[in-house]
Every structure is written in C-alpha cells, then in structure tokens.
C-alpha cells in the first residue's frame, strides 16, 4: 500500500511552486548537500536538484575515512591537512552516530620506518590541535600483531598507531538531506537539470526534468551553484558551450573482502605503494575495504568500472602485508569512483594534484564548486554560500554549521544496523519487517527498506541497495539476490505495479554486475613480495 506521506512528492510540489529561491544548488553529493545545508541554516531559501540520487557518484565511493590526509602532509600541504583535521574533529562531534575513531597501523619492516613515521604522525597530531582524536604512538612487534593478527610476520619490527575517523559516506549524505529538510530547505532527487535560465547575460535559474513524471519545470533563484562533482564541466557548458575543462578526473578503485582477512579493531595503512600512493585496508560493516588506486581517465562516467590491472595492483599490494592474503576469489564487491581534481600544468600526475576545493564564477554569475573531499564538505559549503550571498546581494548572515548537530546525532552506542539512524533507530525498528532479514549474507532487514521509501526519498532498488543500505558495496551477489524482495517492498510503499518491479530488478542487475570482479571470481592467489620491499 502506498505510504500516506511521500517525501519526494512533497519536495517536487515545493520545487515547482513558483518560488524565487535565494539559492539553487545543482548536485546532491558532498559539496552540493554541504552548500545547501549551510544556506538553509543561515535562513536562505534553498532548493537542491540532484539528477539521479544523493551521493550517486563519487560521494558514495570513498575509502570511508574522515581524515586529514597523511599523504598531503608528506607533500608539504600543511594548510590543507590542518583544515581537514579541524573539519574531521567537527564532524566527529556533530555526527557521532556516523563517525567513529579508528586506529590505523603503519607496519614497519625496516628500522628507519619507526622513527620516520612516528615523527610525521606526531606532527599530524599537533596540527589537529584540541580536536585531535587520540595521540599516535609507537608499538612493538607483538602489539602490532595483536592489532592486526594477519600481518606478514617476517622482518616485522613493530609499527606506528595513529587515529583518524571512519564513516559511512552515503549515509552521511542522507543525513545531510534530512538536516536540510529540518531547516526548511528542499532537496529533490531524480531531477536532472537540462538547461540554465539566462536573462540579460545572467544565470537566473534552471530547467529540470522530473525523471518520474517526465515533465520539465523551470525554477528561478538569486544565485545558482554548480556542485556536480566530476560533472561540473557539463553544467558549465549549459551556459558556455565552449567552456574549457576545469578537471583532470582520476579513478580510485576499492575491493571489499570478508572480515577475517583483517581481524582486530584496527585498520592498516601502507604509506607508500609502488605508484607512490597510500593504500588502506579498513574494517567497515564487518567487511574489509582495501584501496585505492589513482588512474587518470579521459572522461567521466556515472558508473565507472574498475580495470583488471587496478584490482591486481590492490591485491598484490595487500599480499605484501597480509597473510593469508585475499585473492580474486575472495572479492565480494569492487567499486570505482572518480575524483574531481582541478586541472594543473600538463604532465602533472593526478596523485599529486591538490584536494583543495575551488570556487569559480562565470561571466553570467554561475558559481562552480569543485575539488575537495568528504572531510571538508562543511567548509566547502560555508565558503560557497558566503560567496553566493555577496554575488546575489543577499543579507549577510554567519554560517552556523560548525557547531550544528546533524539529524539523528546521538552518542548512544547502537548496534548494527541501527547505528547510522541515530535517534531515528527506534522509529525504524517499529516498522513492519524489523525482524525479517533481507538476505542471510547481509546485515539488513525489511523495515529499513520501508523507512528508506517513507523518510529518505529512496525511489529505486538501486537507491536502497547501494546508498540507503550498503549491500551493493558489501556483497554484490547477495544484493542481486535481495533485489526482487526490495522491489516488492518499494512497490508496496510507492504504489507501483509488478511491471515496475520487473523493470527495477533488471535495471539493478545492469548496475550491480559491474561491481562483480572483472573476469569472474576465479583467479590465482597473488604472490607476496619479499619483506625487504615493505615500509
């Protein structure tokens, strides 16, 4: 039976109500949601339009870390690290139900590694100031093995333990949406912008298509922000068709394997891989996420695919540090995301490009925000709204997000899968299906699907299994098996028929098959490199 309240239908009615918005934000990822929320908390009238679903792109495909960026410290970008560490502390305080402290072990296999990384991470602590999570420290060989029992033992000297934050990226996106709504802002997903409205050479609004109903609508705003991540150039060219590209996109890949490959409560950080990046193995929702890569790509894609050599690189690197090491047969999901790196001089490696955010204003007044990362989403939004308010002549108001508790915030230690809901957990548990698992291999229940439809604007099977729940990233095959039941539940909630259910399952399969390991699950185990090659 269709729910009595449909949050997206309400949002569509508000979006098409003929209002003059103070701010129109295009893009529902980290930067767009951060911008919209900052504007709403200042009392501005704000509408956010998302072409597909919140965090559909890069913002749901991160390494799941809220961090200062140890590698940026090694590059000498102290100001970026200091800002990110400050924002890490704020997010830990403002969303304790979504962000937790996590210990990261740098295993040392050479004598010089302990003092070298130990000193660097003390500087990391210092830059965090009063918002530091916990102090880093040296650990001996046995403690390193206690923290990460599957570490390669030969030549292990000990390690350095430091702390960063861990989070669930798409759940933070949904939480920002709910917080935006709490402050009177409007977010609408499945609403692609198909054109910009211009008058007198100025951008004064946009035309968007309601992907469900098929109708086009026009909205007007005093300022328009393009916060579409790796797709910012496409929106810029709606105003200026010959606009030169701003971005040099880079692909990062992660593989997900069972938890027994990294038991214990700590993550593993490899400070320098063969291509000069860092690599993480991170416990997450009772699985392990391992990544990432840095592969320049010629263009953008809504569903980027991991290259076989990227998967091989991750598994080969992991095999240098973990014993037993995961093989292709152990990979339960593989996902790729594109980084919106701002163009630099020709010949610059993408891994050396800054993750600072960039704001540009076109001749017609379109504000484009790009770059940055999840950790600094709040600061990106604050800077963008401040700039937009001046441009649009809005009354100056201070940002309130630095001390803003996000929707559902609680310090109660809730078990999985309820923790991400915070104070809403009891309401989710009160729905039908709270004791009915979706699939034996997944940590989710049917009530969560109903909640996603009733409260979180979930409209498709993919919205549910990829972003409201994280089934697609945890176990792609299990999520495929759960898809028909999710389609049934959504159909009940949204008033859809059996034909719609069949279409949804087919569409989800087309997406989910891309998260299965290229070439199938079979494959030989990677050969571990000699311990002398380790840090």
Q: Identify the CA nearest to 29 among candidates 374, 339, 368, 286.
A: 374
pLDDT at position 77 is 84
pTM of the full predicted structure? 0.94
Partner residues linked to 330 by β-bridges:
none
pLDDT at position 347 is 44
The more confident residue out of 353 and 31 is 31
Taking 70 as the threshold, does the pLDDT of residue 242 lie above it? yes
Query: Could you give the CA distance from residue 29 to residue 31 in angstroms, rounded to a whole number?
Result: 6
pLDDT at position 273 is 87
Taking 90 as the threshold, does the pLDDT of residue 511 lie above it? yes
pLDDT at position 353 is 41
Confidence of residue 344 (pLDDT cuts 50, 70, 90): low
3-state class percentages of the chain: helix first, strand second, coil last, to nearest 5? 40, 20, 40
Confidence of residue 519 (pLDDT cuts 50, 70, 90): low
pLDDT at position 350 is 43
Mean pLDDT over residues 374-388, rounded?
97
Helix/strand/coil for 137:
strand
Confidence of residue 73 (pLDDT cuts 50, 70, 90): confident
Contacts of 147 (CB under 8 A, 6+ apart): 103, 105, 139, 159, 161, 264, 265, 266
Identical fold for domains 7-58+171-247+351-403 and 419-515, yes or no, is no
- CA 102 → CA 48, 64, 118, 268, 409, distances in Å? 33, 11, 17, 10, 19
**Model confidence pLDDT, tens digit, residues 420-454:** 999 999 999 999 999 999 999 999 999 999 999 99
Confidence of residue 497 (pLDDT cuts 50, 70, 90): very high
Taking 80 as the threshold, does the pLDDT of residue 239 lie above it? yes
Assign domain 419-515 to a CATH class: mainly alpha
- DSSP-assigned letter for residue 342: B
Q: How far is CA 253 from the centre of its chain?
A: 13
Query: Could you give the CA distance from residue 61 to residue 78 in angstroms, rounded to a whole number?
Result: 26
Partner residues linked to 264 by β-bridges:
none
**Model confidence pLDDT, tens digit, residues 318-340:** 999 999 999 999 999 999 999 99
Assign domain 94-168+248-341 to a CATH class: alpha beta
Range from 3-17, 200-214, 306-320, 430-444 carrying the lowest mean pLDDT: 3-17
Query: Could you give the CA distance from residue 198 to residue 362 in angstroms, rounded to a whole number?
Result: 12
Confidence of residue 528 (pLDDT cuts 50, 70, 90): very low
**Model confidence pLDDT, tens digit, residues 281-293:** 999 999 999 999 9
Task: For residue 94, give the H/E element and its range.
Answer: helix 78-94
Q: What is the dihedral of CA 373, 307, 284, 287, to 10 degrees?
A: 180
Please, are residues 49 and 36 in contact by the beta-carbon 8 Å criterion?
no
Mean pLDDT of the chain: 93
Taking 70 as the threshold, does the pLDDT of residue 346 lie above it? no
Q: Taken in order 493, 499, 500, 502, is the CA torsion positive or negative?
A: positive
Taking 50 as the threshold, does the pLDDT of residue 354 lie above it? no
Domain range 7-58+171-247+351-403, its CATH number among 3.30.1450.10, 3.30.930.10, 3.40.50.720, 3.50.50.60: 3.50.50.60
Taking 80 as the threshold, does the pLDDT of residue 469 lie above it? yes
Confidence of residue 518 (pLDDT cuts 50, 70, 90): low
Taking 90 as the threshold, does the pLDDT of residue 72 lie above it? no
pLDDT at position 475 is 98
Taking 70 as the threshold, does the pLDDT of residue 34 lie above it? yes
Q: Phi/psi at 383 (nearest 5 deg)?
A: -60, -40
Query: Could you give the CA distance from residue 248 to residue 349 in angstroms, rounded to a whole number?
Result: 10
Mean pLDDT over residues 374-384, rounded?
97
Query: Could you give the CA distance from residue 55 to residue 68 in angstroms, rounded to a whole number?
Result: 21
Taking the domains of the chain in order of start, what are their residue ranges?
Answer: 7-58+171-247+351-403, 94-168+248-341, 419-515
Task: For residue 101, give the H/E element and its range.
Answer: strand 99-108
Task: For residue 454, give the H/E element and its range.
Answer: helix 446-455
Contacts of 326 (CB under 8 A, 6+ apart): 255, 257, 258, 261, 288, 290, 315, 318
Taking 90 as the threshold, does the pLDDT of residue 520 lie above it? no
Query: Could you give the CA distance from residue 531 to residue 515 in angstroms, rounded to a whole number?
Result: 32
Taking 90 as the threshold, does the pLDDT of residue 20 lie above it? yes
pLDDT at position 471 is 98
């Amino acid at each position: 039976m269709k729910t009595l309240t449909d949050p997206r239908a309400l949002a569509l009615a508000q979006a098409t109500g003929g209002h003059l918005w103070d701010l129109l934000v295009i893009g529902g990822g980290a930067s767009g949601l951060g911008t919209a929320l900052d504007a709403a908390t200042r009392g501005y009238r704000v509408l956010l339009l998302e072409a597909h679903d919140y965090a559909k792109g890069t913002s749901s495909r991160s390494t799941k870390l809220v961090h200062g960026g140890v590698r940026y410290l090694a590059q000498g970008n102290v100001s970026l690290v200091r800002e990110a560490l400050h924002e890490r502390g704020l997010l830990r305080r403002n969303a304790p139900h979504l962000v937790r402290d996590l210990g990261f072990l740098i295993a040392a296999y050479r004598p010089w590694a302990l003092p070298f990384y130990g000193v660097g991470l003390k500087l990391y602590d210092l830059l965090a100031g009063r918002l530091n999570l916990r102090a880093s420290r040296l650990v001996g060989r046995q403690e390193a093995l206690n923290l990460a029992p599957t570490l390669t033992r030969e030549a292990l000297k000990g390690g350095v333990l430091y702390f960063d934050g861990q989070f669930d990226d798409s759940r933070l996106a949904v939480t920002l949406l709910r917080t935006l709504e709490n402050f009177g802002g409007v977010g609408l997903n499945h609403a692609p912008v198909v054109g910009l409205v211009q008058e007198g050479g100025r951008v004064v609004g946009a035309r968007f298509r309601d992907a469900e109903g098929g109708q086009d609508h026009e909205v007007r705003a005093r300022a328009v922000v393009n916060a579409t991540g790796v797709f910012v150039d496409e929106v810029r060219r709606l105003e200026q068709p010959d606009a030169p590209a701003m971005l040099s996109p880079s692909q990062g890949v992660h593989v997900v394997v069972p938890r027994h490959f990294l038991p214990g409560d700590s993550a593993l950080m490899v400070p320098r891989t063969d291509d000069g990046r860092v690599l993480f193995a991170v416990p997450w929702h009772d699985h392990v996420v391992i990544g990432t890569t840095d592969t320049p790509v010629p263009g953008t894609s809504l569903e980027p695919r991991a290259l076989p050599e990227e998967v091989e690189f991750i598994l080969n690197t992991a095999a240098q540090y973990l014993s037993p090491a995961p093989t292709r047969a152990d990979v339960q999901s593989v996902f790729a995301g594109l980084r919106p790196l701002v163009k630099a001089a020709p010949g610059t490696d993408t891994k050396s490009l800054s993750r600072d955010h960039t704001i540009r204003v076109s001749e017609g007044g379109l504000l484009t925000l790009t770059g940055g990362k999840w950790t600094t989403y709040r600061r990106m939004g604050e800077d963008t709204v401040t700039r937009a308010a001046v441009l649009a002549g809005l009354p100056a108001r201070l940002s309130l997000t630095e001390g803003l508790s996000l929707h559902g915030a609680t310090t109660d230690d809730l078990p999985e899968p309820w923790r991400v809901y915070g104070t809403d957990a009891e309401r989710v548990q009160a729905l039908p299906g709270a004791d009915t698992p979706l699939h034996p291999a997944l940590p989710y229940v049917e009530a969560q699907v109903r909640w996603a439809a009733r409260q979180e604007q979930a409209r498709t099977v993919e919205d549910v299994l990829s972003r409201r729940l994280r089934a697609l990233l945890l176990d792609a095959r299990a999520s495929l098996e759960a898809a028909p039941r999710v389609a049934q539940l959504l159909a009940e909630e949204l008033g859809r028929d059996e034909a719609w259910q069949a279409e949804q399952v087919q569409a989800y399969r087309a997406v989910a098959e891309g998260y299965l390991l290229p070439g199938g699950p079979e494959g030989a185990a990677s050969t571990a490199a000699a311990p002398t090659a380790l840090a």
